[in-house]
Chain A
Amino acid sequence: MDLPILAAAAQPHFDLDFFLKFVFQPSPALIGGLAITIYVSIIAQLTGVILGVLSALAGMARNPILRGISGIYVWFFRGTPLLVQLFLVYFGTPYLLGVDLFPRDVVLGPIDLRGAVLAGIVALSINEGAYMSEIVRAGILSVEHGQTEAAKSLGMTYRLTMSRIVLPQALRVIIPPLGNEFNNMLKTTSLLSVIAVEEIFRVADAVNSATFKAFEAYFGVALYYLGLTTIWSLIQGIIERRLRVSTARTDDRQGILARLTGMRRQAPSRPGGGMR
C-alpha cells in the first residue's frame, strides 16, 4: 500500500511558503494561542509575585509556624519539577479534595478560562511564588537595617515600615531578576500543552501532527517565543531605567544587545538558576 504521508515525513524538505504563511499569516488558532500564552504568563507572574511577597514575609517572621509554612512551600515547589506540579494540580487535586477544582469554563469578557487553563495558571503561580519568595527575600535583606529602625523610631508599624520603606527600596534588587522570571514564564507556559491548553506551542504541535511539517511549525513557534521575549526585554529595559532614575543611581547601564544575549557585566542574580 502506498503511504505518501510517511514518504513525505521520511524525506522532509523545508517548505518556505508554508513556513512564511504559518508565521506571517497566523491562523485564528495561533492568534488564540498567543493570547493564552500572554495572559496566562501575566496572570501567573502577578499571582506569583503576590505569593512570593507573602511567602518572603512569612519566612522572615518571628512566628516559627509562619516560617515553617514558608520554608516547606519553597522547599517543595522549588524541589519538584513544574511538570509534576502541573499534573498534581490538574489531575491530583480532585482525588485529594474529592471535588474537581477545575471542571468547567470561566468566561470573563475576552478571557476564556477553560478548566485546564485555570489549573495551568494555578500551578504556574504556585511554582513561581516559590522562586519569587527567594527573590523578594534577597531584596528585603538588601535594605539596610537602619531603614527599618528609622521607620520604627518614627512610630511606624510593621505594615507601614514594609509597605512604605522597605519594599519600595527592595524593588531595586527585585526588579532585574523579576524580569528574568517573566522571560522564563513566557516560555514555560509551553508546558501547559501537556494538559491540552491551547497555547502557541500546542497549536504548533497540532500543525505538525496534521501536516508533518515539523521544522516549519516548531521553528515558527520558536520565532513567536523569541518575539515575545524580545518585546519583554525592551519593556524590562525601560522599567529598569526608570527605576534607576528614581533611585538616583546612574551606574551599570546596559544595552539592549547585552540584555538579549546575556552578556551582562554583573552576574544575573537569580537564586533558582537554570531550566526547570
Chain B
Amino acid sequence: MSGPNILDAIGGAPETSTDHVVVATDVQKSFGRLHVIKGVSLTVAQREVVVVIGPSGSGKTTFIRCINHLEKIQGGRILVNGHLIGYREVNGKLVEDREQNIARQRQEIGMVFQRFNLFPHMTALDNIREAPIRVRGIPEAEATKTARALLARVGLEHKADVYPGQLSGGQQQRVAIARALAMKPALMLFDEPTSALDPEMIGEVLEVMKELAREGMTMIVVSHEMGFAREVADRVVMMDDGQIIEEGIPEHFFTSPTHERTKSFLSKIL
C-alpha cells in the first residue's frame, strides 16, 4: 500500500541541531483543581519512537498535548529542539510566549489527532498544502508537488480532489498524517491515531506509521497498539495517575513488567 520512503517526499528524515528532540522536565498540569500531570519528565532522542500507554485518565493524551502547547502547563518545562515551548523565561519565571512565537514553534511539531480533524471544506490535497503555503510561505506549485507526493506515499494519490467526508476513517487519518508531514516537522505526535477507527482500517494507518518510524521520524505515539509498539517502538512508557510509572523496551512490557498497575493494565489490553 504505502510505497517505501514516505519521507523522501519531504526531503528525508528531519535533521535537528540537538540530539534530544524533546526534553520535558517535571511537567505539571492542572485543570482547575484537578491535578492531571504530576511531574512528568521524558527525553526523546532524535529518530527515537516512544509509545505512551496507560489507562484512560492517566494523563497521556494531556501530556502530549502539552508538548505542542495545546495545553498550558503550570510547572516544569518542555523543550523541543532546544527551544522552550509555549513560554519565555523572565527572571526565572515562565511567562506565556507571544502567539506568533508559539505558532512558529508548532510548525516543527506535527500532530495527528484521534478524530483526524481534517478540514471538511477543503479537498485532501488542499488539506495538505494549506499550511505549507499559508504558514511556511512555500510557492503553491512546490507545495502542491510535495502534497501530491505525500498523498501517493500514503497510498491516496487518486483521492487528491476528494473531500474528507467522502473518505473512510482510515483514509482520512492517512491524509491527516500527510498533512502534518507536509510541514516537515522535526517531531510527530500521535494522539491515539487508531482508536476512532473501525478494526479493518487500523492496519492501513499503522502501516504508514511503521514506515515513518523505520525511516527515522522522531515520534511520540499515544496508543494501545502493542503490536505496533513491539515492532517499531524504541521505548514504551507507562503512565498512570499523571505520572510515568514504568518505562523500557517493548519486550520488557511483554515479558517482565514490574509495576502492579502495569501488569493489570497489560492484562486487559493484550
Contacts and interface: CB of A to CB of B under 8 A. Distances in A.
Interface of A: 144, 146-147, 149-158, 160, 164-165, 168-169, 246-248
B135 A149 contact: no
Given A153-B180, A155-B104, 10 more contacts: A146-B115, A149-B117, A150-B113, A152-B103, A153-B106, A155-B107, A155-B183, A156-B103, A248-B165, A248-B166
B109 interface: yes
B120 A156 contact: no
Contacts of A164: 130, 134
Interface residue tally on B, bucketed by range: 20 to 34
15 contacts: A146-B115, A146-B117, A147-B119, A149-B70, A149-B113, A150-B119, A152-B106, A153-B106, A153-B109, A154-B180, A155-B106, A156-B135, A158-B99, A160-B135, A164-B134
Task: Give 5 nearest A-B pairs by CB, closest first.
Answer: A155-B107, A150-B117, A154-B131, A153-B111, A146-B117
B118 to A, nearest CB: 7
Contacts of A147: 117, 119
Contact of B131 (A144, A156, A168, A246): A156
Contact of B110 (A153, A156, A157, A246): A153
Nearest to B112: A153
A158 to B, nearest CB: 6
B134 A156 contact: yes
A145 to B, nearest CB: 9
Interface string B160-202: 0001011000000000100110010000000000000000000
A153 B106 CA distance: 6
Contact of A160 (B117, B119, B134, B180): B134
A154 B179 contact: yes
Given A152-B106, A248-B165, A157 B118 contact: no
B135 A150 contact: no
A168 B183 CA distance: 22
Interface SS of chain A = helix
Nearest to A150: B117
Contacts of B107: 154-155
Nearest to A243: B121
B120 A154 contact: no
B182 to A, nearest CB: 9
B22 to A, nearest CB: 15
Interface string B53-94: 000000000000000101000000000000000000000000
A10 to B, nearest CB: 63
B112 to A, nearest CB: 9
B100 interface: yes
Interface string B137-180: 00000000000000000000000000101100000000010011
A156 B106 CA distance: 8
B70 A155 contact: no
A250 to B, nearest CB: 10
Contact of B68 (A144, A153, A160): A153
Indicate the member of B107, B121, B131, B180 with the most A CB atoms within 10 Å: B121
B120 A169 contact: yes
Contacts of A152: 70, 103, 106
B51 to A, nearest CB: 20
A223 to B, nearest CB: 40
Contacts of A154: 106-107, 130-131, 135, 179-180, 183
Nearest to A171: B121
Nearest to A160: B134
Indicate the member of B100, B113, B117, B183 with the most A CB atoms within 10 Å: B117
A248 B183 CA distance: 27
A94 B77 CA distance: 57
Contacts of A158: 99
A153 B114 CA distance: 14
A169 B120 CA distance: 8
A146 B113 contact: yes
Contacts of B111: 150, 153
Contacts of A151: 119
Contacts of B117: 144, 146-147, 149-150
B106 to A, nearest CB: 5
Contacts of B165: 248
Given A153-B109, A154-B180, A155-B183, A168 B121 contact: yes
Contacts of A157: 99-100, 103
A149 B111 CA distance: 10
B192 to A, nearest CB: 13
Contacts of B121: 168-169, 246-247
A156 B68 CA distance: 13
A146 B61 CA distance: 14
A170 B113 CA distance: 21
A185 to B, nearest CB: 27
